[in-house]
Amino acid sequence: MSIQVGDRIPDANFMKATAEGPQQVSTGDYFAGKTVALFSVPGPFTPTCSARHLPGFIEKAGDLKAKGVDEIACTAVNDAFVMQAWADQSGAGDQVTMLADGNGDFIKAVGLPMDGSKFGLGQRGQRFSMLVKDGVVEQLNVEEPGAFNVSSADYMLERL
């Protein structure tokens, strides 16, 4: 069963690229005391993720922050180096924090894994977005397989 609105984000760790190398970030620390717009993509550099999902959150970062979002973060079942390369290539800069879930621990903990084996991707995370306030899910938008509608920055922004 997947996480639901009103649930607390479960304990898990992300990896974040820093100048000193990958740094572990716990969900407890990361989501504490702030409002985070988190979105999950099946794969950095893949077509929909690179052409629409990430660019939408970059483009709408100011609007989301004006509506009370403190930080925007992207996660994927991938390593911190790929996530940082994607951030650099896309121009995400300091607008979107990249949180690598290399082993899929977070995605499993929230109950939103995806089997992308038929596309050569292996185990990944479903496409979704969520608004998390002080560690509690206030909005959860999970896409149907192959779709890109409810996890977009525009969709989240309309509901803030």
Residue boundaries of the structural domains of the chain: 13-158
Residue pair 70/76 in contact (Cβ under 8 Å)? The answer is no
What tokens does 27 get? Answer: 């969900």
pLDDT band at 43, cuts 50/70/90?
Answer: confident
In whole angstroms, what is the distance from residue 118 CA to residue 107 CA? 19
Active site residues: 49
Residue 131 has what DSSP assignment? E
Q: What is the pLDDT of residue 122?
A: 65
State what percent of residues in the chain have pLDDT above 70: 99
Q: Is the dihedral of CA 94, 100, 106, 110 positive or negative?
A: positive
Lowest mean pLDDT segment, chosen from 8-12, 25-29, 34-38, 50-54? 50-54
Q: How far apart are CA 67 and CA 85, in angstroms?
A: 29
d(CA 8, CA 156): 19
Fold exhibited by the domain 13-158: Glutaredoxin (3.40.30)
pLDDT higher than threshold 70 for residue 137: yes
